[in-house]
Structure 1
Amino acid sequence: MSELTTKTIAELRDGFRAGDFSAREIAAEFNAAVAAARALNAFTVETPDDALAAAAAADEARAGGDPGPLAGIPLGIKDLFATEGVATTAGSNILKGFKPPYESTVSGNLRRAGAGMLGKLNMDEFAMGSSNETSAYGPVISPWKRNDGGNNSLTPGGSSGGSAAAVAAGLAPGVTGTDTGGSIRQPAAFTGICGIKPTYGRASRWGIVSFASSLDQAGPMAKTVRDCAILLEVMCGFDPKDATSLDVPVPQWEAGLSSDLKGKRVGIPKEYRIDGVPAEIDALWDKGVEWLRDAGAEPVEISLPHTQYALPTYYIIAPAEASSNLARYDGVRYGLREIGEAGQGTALDGMYAATRAAGFGAEVKRRIMIGTYVLSAGFYDAYFTKAQKVRTLIKRDFAQAFEKCDLILTPTAPSAAFGLAEKMSDPLAMYLNDVFAVPASLAGLPAMSVPGGLDGLGLPLGLHLIGRELDEQGVLNAALAIEERAGFTARAEKWW
């Protein structure tokens, strides 16, 4: 691994502006790292020429004295973001070969800030998964290994598994991810990096392939809290093309970073102490409480009584919205088209059936069927309407909790990274990976995972911070306090 690929975004930015190295040197070293790590399967498409072209523009801008905020920084873009002229497939066979004639708002914001693109990052199909094993391109392999001498391949988490693996392996200094029920935070925890989901509506969803429209939110993943703040400032902002976009100013989150938490109260929800969670995760949680206390915060016990209903509520609402969103993939306008066989009804119906049968993977089909069922006549009120009511109660729980505290601290995930294929045969066990992350998603709140330590097998464990609506600064500051005190510097040893 080269010296430049070990640097943070802040270090690359500042070194580039000081003339310590050129943008071309940065891009060339990251391009080489991406090519050398194909065994991880982190990228679906590599775009080295894009990274070099942006680097040339950055070097020219620096010579002119006006580089953009991300000039010289090459990034990885999750394959859920539309990238003009570059394949965007959402990890699915049904979109293989699709090259959009437009750019997503978030990736466009990053480009205008001077960032280049190293490639598109592998992901669970349509962001439906917690292990990156549902991708039509095959699973991403975590750069981390257990220290017990075994050589089993581990998951980097999902759905933003390619994004997490790319940062953890030093293939990109920062990446975009999306989070519907924990898909930024859980893979960040599994790979020992930072990832933040902002308040719902902070970052535009325009040009992002939809999974569940009332939950999907873009966010950054990077090595450090500061790097996440740098990327988040550029990614966020009002977008009139997105009806759910918030028309509020974007703060200077990097400039506002402070690990002094004097006067802050940190809520510790008693309902998050659940059976079956390894003792070392509870121990890290207790250590996180002490780190925040050392930073000046006061821990207080809080109650989020409807937490036990969050996961079933999510797995009604998210599949329902997915079944509606994915109805557009019918073989007519773009993507895969299969001609139906005789006996499948009309020629048009046969094409719909054949295209969707061939194009969607098993997990996507499962969620479409669940969603269609809960939206069907006779079950809509019993399931979907009731789930929306429970969602309101979960949001109310958070509102009442924030009358007693400013931030909430929990574990990010109920385990460290598990082996590939260990849970694929048990969808319920897989869904439980999101048990700590889902409530904040249902409430639309900002939430972040920051690495706190290693488990007994040498794998990363994350701590999870949840803030009030639009209080990304509070979340980032508390994460910085943990980052400073945890002193987490462990990195995956190169084996690929």
Structure 2
Amino acid sequence: MRAEVFPLPTQTCEQRTAHALREAAQAGERGGFVRLREAAALEQARAVDSQREEGLQAGRLNGAPLAHKDMFFRAGELSECGSRILAGHRASHTAIVLQRLDAAGATDLGALHMAEFAMSPTGFNAHLGHGRNAWSEGHVSGGSSSGSGIAVSRGLVAGALGSDTGGSVRIPAAVNGVTGIKPTQHAISMRGVMPLSPSLDCVGVLARTAQDAASMLQAIWDADSLDPHCLATGKREFEGAIERPLAPDDIIAVPAFGDDAPVSGEVRAAVSRMAEAFASCGATIRKVDLPDLRETGALATLMLGAEATSIHAKWLRERRGDYGEQVLRRLERGLLYPATRYVDALRLRAPLMTQFVERYLGGAQALLLPALPYAVPTIEETLEGDASEIERRFGNFSYWTRGINYLGLPGMSVPAGKSENGMPVGVQLIGRAWSEDVLLRLAHQLQGNTDWHLPSILSHRPRVA
């Protein structure tokens, strides 16, 4: 089966890739790219065309134009991670997930904007400038996989890889009106990807639809004997699994929001709207208590701070002035965490995950949660005040995503319409460990009966596919 963004094109793959490169170049920084791989992408496209001419299978991705966050290394090419410290850095090896996408017949158009070292949920970068939301350049793009959300939403690529340590796939997917999935912790090999917090880092996928996300996730999912953290034992089938219609035994848990819940009224309405849509598709809705993610979020923050500071220790000593102020503040805070608190965070992880699943997912396939606590803010709103004030106001931007990384559960952001300011609003589906097929199926069946994933911004733009 082939996903809808990966059909057999009437053009050659080379023609299609050349068109996509021109569109990306014309979009400039608005398109989310920091570098294009014109010659290399066209060479990949010609290889796909040669396979077709010889009557060979071109791969499940069929020449689809992709691009990826600038922290997925490719041998001999620049990989700067949105930073000044790694400016000019050329990788010595290619990330295994890029190797797998290449083998699946995709073309890689280039590197995408990201927050410095993947450390901003809004898409801010002190060196590259802000990510610009695909719907409104005055609004934040979400981060840290900012360019991935922008490029997919603008229709410049069929899909993109991102990383998710505290929401960095799901947040840009939500604010740009696309679909994003973070798999189970350690399911996908991180070999050849710049780490932030190895205990929390996940490779994730952003695409226009759940169907396309399934195709990409299937392409990169496999065991990796050279990555000791990768828990996948082999390939998995997602494309076929998503086709079964929803039925009453598909139970979705929906929380009851109290007056003090950290979520705006319009986001609550989006969660209710999605629950109603799932019910109309045949699923059963079950009411549950609202999860309190403050503890898991705090533990995730502690874990990220300690691990990221360890990774950056040498640069903090020798190149402190090359960090942006916001990133430096977060890294230096990691120096203050006692080792006993870090060990506690590791020790509590499994029991807290078990408690969460039993309480909120008992008997249900997925839990509906907001992706963001409020509507997409403007860039100007994230700049008002000093650094500590900004951090205080937007410290809860990833409230609904960060704790899910600590629990290690898969999460998927799905478009759920627009907020009052006309910007996209997303809702998360949270599942048990290794239930990516379930989340993708739920989202695919929902998208077959709603049009929230088909935003008006794309109606006047030529499709890349």
- The farther-off stretch of 53-62 and 135-144 is 135-144
Pair 358,308 (structure 1): closer, same or farther in 2 beyond 3 Å: closer
CA distance in 2, matches of 1:141, 1:12: 24
Indicate the residue corresponding to 2:280 in structure 1: 294
Select the residue among 284, 302, 307 that pairs with 1:321. 307
Which residue of 1 is the match for residue 367 of structure 2? Answer: 408
Counterpart among 347, 350, 355 of residue 397 in structure 1? 355
Query: Normalising to structure 2: TM-score of the pair?
Result: 0.91
- Aligned counterpart, 1:428: 392
Shift of 1:364: 2.3
Letter in 2 for 1:261: L
User: 1:431 Cα shift?
Assistant: 2.7
Contact 2:416 2:427 in 1 (8 A): yes
Instruction: Return the match for 1:384 from 338, 342, 356.
Output: 342
1:357-414 deviations in whole A, cap 9, x for unaligned? 232222221122111110xxxx332x32343455344312223133332211111111
Q: 1:193, 1:222 within 8 Å by CA — same for their partners in 2? A: yes
Report what 1:96 is aligned to.
87
Matched, 1:140 2:131: yes
- Of 157-166 and 127-136, deviating more is 127-136
1:40 aligned to which of 21, 30, 41 = 30
Name whichever of 398-407 and 75-84 sits farther off. Answer: 398-407
Amino acid at match of 1:48: E
SS in 1 for 2:396: helix
Larger Rg: 1
- Cα drift, residue 163 of structure 1: 0.6
How large is the RMSD of aligned CA atoms in angstroms?
A: 2.1
Partner Cα distance (1:304, 1:386) in 2? 25
Residue 26 of structure 1, aligned match among 16, 38, 62: 16
For 1:414 and 1:435, the matched residues in 2 are separated by 7
Query: What are the superposed Cα offsets for residues 59-110 of structure 1, whole Å, 9 maximum, x if unpaired?
Result: 1011112212223112101111111111101111000000112101111111
Question: Mapping of 1:52-71 within 5 angstroms?
Answer: 52-66=42-56, 67-71=58-62
What is the rounded CA distance, in whole Å, between the counterparts of 2:442 and 2:3 in structure 1?
19
> What does the per-residue CA deviation read over 1:136-181, in whole Å, with 9 as the maximum and x for residues that have no partner?
2222211212xxxxxx611110000011001111221111111011
Distance 1:395 1:226 in 2: 28
State whether residues 130 and 431 of structure 1, in contact with CA within 8 Å, keep that contact through their aligned partners in structure 2.
Answer: no
- Distance change (3 Å), C-alpha of 1:310 and 1:304: farther
- Structure 1 partner of 2:143: 158
Secondary structure of the residue that 1:257 maps to in structure 2?
A: helix
| Partner amino acid, structure 1, of 2:165 | T
2:152–2:158 Cα contact (<8 Å) kept: yes
Task: Give the percent of matched residue pairs that are identical in Structure 1 and Structure 2.
Answer: 29
**Which AA in structure 1 matches 2:307?**
E
* Distance in structure 2 (CA, Å) of the matches to 1:491 and 1:247: 38
Given residue 294 of structure 2, which amino acid in structure 1 is its aligned partner? Q
Find the partner of 2:65 among 58, 64, 74: 74
Structure 2 residue corresponding to 1:229, chosen from 214, 219, 241? 214
Give the conservation status (yes or no) of the 8 Å contact 1:31–1:118: yes
- In structure 2, how many angstroms separate the alpha carbons of the residues matched to 1:158 and 1:124? 6
How high is the TM-score relative to the length of structure 1? 0.86
Say whether residues 1:215 and 2:200 are aligned partners: yes
- CA shift, 1:443, in A, is 1.3
Deviations 1:240-265 (A, max 9, x none): 12111114232220111136221121
Q: Do the aligned residues in 2 keep the contact of 1:444 with 1:469 (CA within 8 Å)?
A: yes
Contact map agreement 2:180 2:412 (CA 8 A) in 1: yes
Instruction: Give the superposition deviation at 1:15.
Output: 2.4
For structure 2, the 5+ residue unaligned runs are none
- The alpha-carbon deviation at position 29 of structure 1 amounts to 1.1
CA offsets per residue over residues 255-295 of structure 1, 9 Å max, x none?
11136221121112346875452212111111111111222
Once the two structures are superposed, what CA deviation does each residue of 1:313-364 show, in whole Å capped at 9, x if it has no partner?
221111111011222x54xxxxxxxxxxxxxxxxxxxxx74x4223222222
Q: Secondary structure at the match of 1:201?
A: coil
Q: Return 5+ residue gaps in structure 1 as ranges.
A: 1-8, 146-151, 331-351
